[in-house]
């Protein structure tokens, strides 16, 4: 239409740019939340509290990034929590039995064991053609059962663990706690991998249109196998950090954590039907969940209300996100969204 | 989520030609055969297995799960999912307990719990059907929200002291074989849900939505209303399961039924209901519940811990879908294998062998302490 004024057209292109900037709605939501909480709790907007939030979301971010890669391929990995529980138990048993094992080796062992568990998932899904939600629902039960089989119901306490192992997550030789550095390195590596390497781009291609990806020569099965192995590797790393940070390995370590990782990814704008999702979005998603948890404590909401408020805020975040995107889409014309 | 067209959980016969074979290749027959095998093995292992009294008592452990499987079958057939069922169960049971503590008549409290379940399912349904949000995401949120409300209602206390007329719902038995009352309730609802699914237009619509939602909408079917109804049914049945579980335990804690949602989904999928929607039968879901119940009961009799039992359930879930898939692939392609595949298989075997060795080797020093 020639009647559209230049100003109008410019405004449209600005909105289109906003639509493309998928993390916008979650940033708005985080800022709103911060404003409300800061007005009610002075301790909220302080550097130590910010550091506290980062400490709390590090493990979540690491596992959620693996989960994200799986979800982009239209899959889901429900077994991450059980992998964390099993690897945390096996590595902790090993370092307690052999205190001479250096923490770095313990970390490598955890990553290796997690990768093997992840490769079982990948094998069942690619070679066995079992739908991912069913395969990982099955391995969720199997791996969690194996924690009991392995430990015989016993657990590892803080005082049994070697000091180096306990310090692995919390020590801060570079000024920031190691656990935050691990999360930052993983985030940068995953960002680079997803955006600037061929296997990383293949993940999006497989998720957007598996058939088209296959026809254009992308190794679909290998890519699928790979994302489950990566999810396992990251869960293995998270397991060692978990055992080190909380100084214990129990049979119910990380029970129910799988749904939190899915929540962080989804709140961070990862499309549950595959094909899209970004690293900054997932970090923001994990940050939002961490901020909600932190805020509820600072505003002195009864602990019995916390889970309900968390669930409600996840719902609100998802509904608001969807509403904002729809609205932007309407104003901006036919911006492609999903 | 990576379904190639035509690939269906092993529920669909691969070719249409062999019609006479199809009847016997149905998923339900495989489940029936597995049930027979489990009964045979268990009867050999434990002399207590075939005692009617034991079997009947064990039955009541699985009836809450059964009540939730019925609407879950509806929801999964439409290619949706409900992760909030166990949380709805806990929230409704907690409301019942809270009202009981306030001195409200137990039957009024039970009615309120059922109403709350309907509302909870209604919220899920509205967000899925009207706001067009993915069911997995919505019910993940309400999974936390409803469980949280259960804690808000009861906090760290437990409600107890229900009257005997109420605990009959979970503990009472009927007839000479001592059939649990909850089983009567379950069988009644299983028949109702089965008839609705297989003998009514509403049931046909569920399959249609699962196969092609867009086409079903254009055909004039009120898709949004149907989705709302099935989520409300799910909320209602979860609340009913909450009442039964409260009556069975004689007390209610807000953490009741934690993790039950995954057990419910496992049983539904094992029953041959396609996780991508569009196929499955109520008889299959019913048989899967019996199979899981018998397996757990049998393993319990030979002193296998509950958590270790879940390894067997997980393996059963995976292999029940993996074996038919692999068999079909082999029969279609013959046994011509590439060298790369052989190398990959050997690498996987080596990794698995290492893992198993490390698993049993590294636990010894601690367990011997």
d(CA B45, CA B41): 6
Residues of A in contact with B127 (CB under 8 A): 315, 319
Q: Which of B148, B276, B307 sits opposite A148 (nearest CB)?
A: B307
Residues of B in contact with A73 (CB under 8 A): 2
pTM of the complete model: 0.85
Tokens of A80: 């991450």
Residue B143: closest CA among A285, A311, A264, A254: A311
Tokens of A257: 């954590």
User: For residue B63, is pLDDT > 90?
Assistant: yes
B367/chain A closest Cα distance in angstroms: 8
Across the range A260-285, mean pLDDT stands at 89
d(CA B294, CA B123): 35
A141 Cβ neighbours under 8 A, 6+ residues apart: A82, B262, B266, B310, B311, B313, B314, B317
Q: Identify the weakest region by mean pLDDT among A24-38, A195-209, B8-22.
A: B8-22
Give me the residues of A, 131-170, that contact B with CB < 8 A: 131-135, 137-142, 144-154, 156
Q: In percent, how much of chain A has pLDDT > 70?
A: 90
**Rg, C-alpha atoms of chain B:** 22
d(CA A306, CA B60): 33
**Rg, C-alpha atoms of chain A:** 21
Across the range B52-75, mean pLDDT stands at 92
Indicate the SS3 state at residue A249: strand
Q: Report chain A's mean pLDDT, rounded to a whole number.
A: 88
Q: Cα angle vertex B39, ends B38, B44, to 5°?
A: 100
Beta-strand relationship, B159-160 and B251-252 = antiparallel
B354 Cβ neighbours under 8 A, 6+ residues apart: A116
Give me the residues of A, 194-253, that contact B with CB < 8 A: 210-211, 224, 251
Give me the residues of B, 264-323, that contact A with CB < 8 A: 265-266, 269, 275-276, 305, 307-311, 313-315, 317-318, 321-322
Residue pair B167/B182 in contact (Cβ under 8 Å)? The answer is: no
Give residue A293's pLDDT band: very low, low, confident or very high (50, 70, 90).
Answer: confident
Give residue A109's pLDDT band: very low, low, confident or very high (50, 70, 90).
Answer: very high
Which is more confidently placed, A295 or A193?
Answer: A193
Residue A149 has phi, psi (to 5 degrees) of -60, -45
Residue pair B159/B101 in contact (Cβ under 8 Å)? The answer is: yes
Domain B18-329 of CATH type 1.10.1240: no
Instruction: For A177-197, write each residue's pLDDT tens digit.
Output: 999 999 999 999 999 999 999
Instruction: For B236-265, write each residue's pLDDT tens digit.
Output: 999 999 999 999 999 999 999 987 888 899
Q: Which of B142, B325, B355 sits opposite A311 (nearest CB)?
A: B142
Q: How many residues does chain A have?
A: 338
Give residue A2's pLDDT band: very low, low, confident or very high (50, 70, 90).
Answer: very low
Q: What is the DSSP string of B305-362?
A: -HHHHHHHHHHHHHHHHHHHHHHHHHHHHTT---HHHHHHHHHHHHHHHHHHHHHHHH
Q: What is the DSSP string of B130-186?
A: TS---HHHHHHHHHHHHHHHHHHHHTT--EE---HHHHHHHH-EETTTTEEHHHHHH
How many CA within 13 A on the CB side of residue B30? 17
A119 touches chain B (CB under 8 A): yes
Give residue A335's pLDDT band: very low, low, confident or very high (50, 70, 90).
Answer: very low
The predicted complex's ipTM stands at 0.84
User: For residue B14, is pLDDT > 60?
Assistant: no
H or E segment and range at residue B251: strand B251-252
Give me the residues of B, 182-201, that contact A with CB < 8 A: none
Question: Highest-confidence range of A252-256, A270-274, B83-87, by mean pLDDT?
Answer: B83-87
Tokens of A167: 């310090």
Instruction: For B81-114, write each residue's pLDDT tens digit.
Output: 999 999 999 999 999 999 999 999 999 999 999 9
């Amino acid at each position: 239409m020639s009647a559209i004024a230049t100003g109008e057209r410019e405004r449209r292109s600005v909105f289109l740019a906003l639509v493309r900037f998928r993390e916008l709605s979650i940033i708005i939501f985080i800022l709103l939340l911060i404003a409300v909480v800061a007005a009610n709790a002075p301790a909220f907007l302080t550097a130590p509290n910010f550091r506290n939030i980062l400490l709390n979301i590090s493990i979540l971010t690491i596992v959620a990034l693996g989960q994200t890669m799986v979800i982009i391929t239209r899959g889901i990995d429900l077994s991450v929590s059980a992998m964390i529980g099993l690897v945390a138990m096996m590595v902790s048993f090993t370092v307690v039995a052999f205190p001479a094992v250096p923490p770095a080796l313990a970390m490598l062992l955890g990553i290796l064991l997690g990768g093997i568990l992840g490769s079982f998932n990948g094998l069942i899904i690619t070679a066995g053609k079992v739908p991912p939600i069913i395969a990982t629902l099955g391995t969720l039960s199997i791996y969690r059962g194996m924690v009991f089989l392995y430990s015989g119901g016993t657990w590892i306490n803080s005082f049994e663990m070697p000091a180096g192992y306990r310090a692995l997550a919390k020590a801060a030789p570079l000024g920031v706690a190691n656990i935050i550095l691990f999360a930052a390195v993983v985030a940068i590596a995953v960002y680079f991998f997803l955006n600037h390497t061929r296997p990383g781009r293949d993940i999006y291609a497989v998720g957007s249109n598996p058939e088209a990806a296959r026809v254009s020569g992308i190794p679909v099965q290998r890519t699928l196998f790979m994302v489950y192995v990566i999810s396992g590797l990251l869960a293995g790393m998270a397991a060692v950090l978990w055992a080190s940070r909380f100084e214990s390995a129990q049979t119910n370590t990380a029970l129910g954590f799988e749904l939190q990782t899915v929540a962080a990814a989804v709140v961070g704008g990862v499309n549950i039907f595959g094909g899209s999702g970004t690293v900054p979005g997932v970090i923001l998603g994990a940050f939002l969940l961490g901020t909600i948890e932190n805020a509820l404590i600072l505003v002195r909401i009864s602990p019995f209300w916390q889970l309900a408020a968390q669930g409600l805020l996840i719902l609100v975040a998802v509904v608001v996100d969807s509403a904002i995107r729809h609205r932007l889409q309407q104003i901006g014309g036919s911006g492609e969204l999903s | 989520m990576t379904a190639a067209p035509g690939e269906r959980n092993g529920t669909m016969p691969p070719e249409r030609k062999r019609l006479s074979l199809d009847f016997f290749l149905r998923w339900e027959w495989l489940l029936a055969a597995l049930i027979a095998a489990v009964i045979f093995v268990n009867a050999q292992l434990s002399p207590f297995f075939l005692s009617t009294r034991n079997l009947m008592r064990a039955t009541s452990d699985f009836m809450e799960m059964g009540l939730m499987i019925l609407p879950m079958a509806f929801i999964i057939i439409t290619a949706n999912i409900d992760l909030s069922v166990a949380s709805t169960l806990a929230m409704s049971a907690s409301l019942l307990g809270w009202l009981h503590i306030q001195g409200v008549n137990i039957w009024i409290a039970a009615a309120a719990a059922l109403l709350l379940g309907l509302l909870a399912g209604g919220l899920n349904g509205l967000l899925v059907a009207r706001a067009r949000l993915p069911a997995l995401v919505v019910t993940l949120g309400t999974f936390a929200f409803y469980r949280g409300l259960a804690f808000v209602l009861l906090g760290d206390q437990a409600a107890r002291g229900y009257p005997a007329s109420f605990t009959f719902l979970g503990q009472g038995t009927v007839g000479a074989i001592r059939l649990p009352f909850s089983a009567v309730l379950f069988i009644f609802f299983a028949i109702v849900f089965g008839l609705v699914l297989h003998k009514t237009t509403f049931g046909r619509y569920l399959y249609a939505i699962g196969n092609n939602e867009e086409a079903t909408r254009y055909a004039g079917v009120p898709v949004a209303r149907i989705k709302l109804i099935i989520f409300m049914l799910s909320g209602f049945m979860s609340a009913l399961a909450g009442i039964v579980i409260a009556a069975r335990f004689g007390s209610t804690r807000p953490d009741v039924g934690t993790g039950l949602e995954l057990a419910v989904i496992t049983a539904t999928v094992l029953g041959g209901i396609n996780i991508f929607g569009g196929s499955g039968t109520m008889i299959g879901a019913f048989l899967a519940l019996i199979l899981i119940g018998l397996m757990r009961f049998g393993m319990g009799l030979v002193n296998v811990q509950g958590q270790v039992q879940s390894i067997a359930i997980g393996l059963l879930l995976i292999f029940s879908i993996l074996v038919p898939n692999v068999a079909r692939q082999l029969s279609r392609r013959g046994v011509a294998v590439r060298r790369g595949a052989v190398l990959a298989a050997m690498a996987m075997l080596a990794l698995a062998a290492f893992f198993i060795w490390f698993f049993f080797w590294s636990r010894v020093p601690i367990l011997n302490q």
